[in-house]
Amino acid sequence: MSRIPLGRDTPAPKGHDPSVLYRIPRKPCPFPVYGYDLWRSYELSWLNPKGKPMVGIMELIYSRESEFIVESKSLKLYLNGLSYAAFGSPLEVKDTIAQDLERILLTPWILVRIIEQSGFSNLSCETRVPGTSLDTLDVPIDIYQRDPALLSCEEGYRDEVLSSDLLRTSCPITGQPDWASVVIHYCGRGIDHSSLLKYLCSYRDHQGFAEEVCEQIFLDISEHCSPEMLSVKCCYTRRGGIDINPLRCSTPLGPEEVKRIRLIRQ
């Protein structure tokens, strides 16, 4: 396994080279947490048997119960290398990527899909984030470091979906900004909407990988609001041609329950 390439000048291989893939151990979690990580790469290319370049979009999904996550720059380097590798079919590309990633992630399940050029016209995106948007609330915001103490609850039981486009975090290694929409579905004691918006905006100077941020939001709401059911999905915009979409929830999910939401900002 190579050293972490993020933040370093690392040349991309010219060919199929899984040795550039770098894995990061998942952090231990004090609450039971399930879900998956969904990645889309819009800059996938390979060569057909005659050497002609082919292009596609790759969708990668793997379980939260994997022992590791894949580091984003290493995945970009790996995929860039494939642009010089010859494959007999898109199916061979898909199987190669799935096998290489399954080997390093140690995951109970993984899904890889290659959307060929002929299928681009079938792609769609949601023009608005699901649920009730918090972003129209007229509330003062003056805390930009993660502060779960901002969360507060109200009397009464609710089953609701809330969302915001205002999440901003930073890469913990490069300091580069990451932008995301958040979708929160919960059942239980009502969460005060203004407090939730303030809490989400408090991530503005927070540093963390996309998967860790999503999980931290899940953990903070679980600890401070004790919902009966909770799911948190963070839909990050593209960086380096890849968008990352972690989902964390309180009930186990299998590959057949994956929801492939793509938002207009992605």
Tell me which residues are annotated as active site.
171, 178
Tokens for 210, please give them: 């996309």
Which residues are paired to 160 by β-bridges?
186
- Give the CA count within 13 Å in the CB-facing half-sphere of 158: 18
| Locus of tokens 């690392």 | 10
Percent helix, percent strand, percent coil in the chain, to nearest 5: 25, 35, 40
- Ranges of H-type helices in the chain: 72-82, 90-105, 193-201, 210-225
Taking the CA atoms of 80, 83, 85 and 88 in sequence, report the sign of the dihedral they define: positive
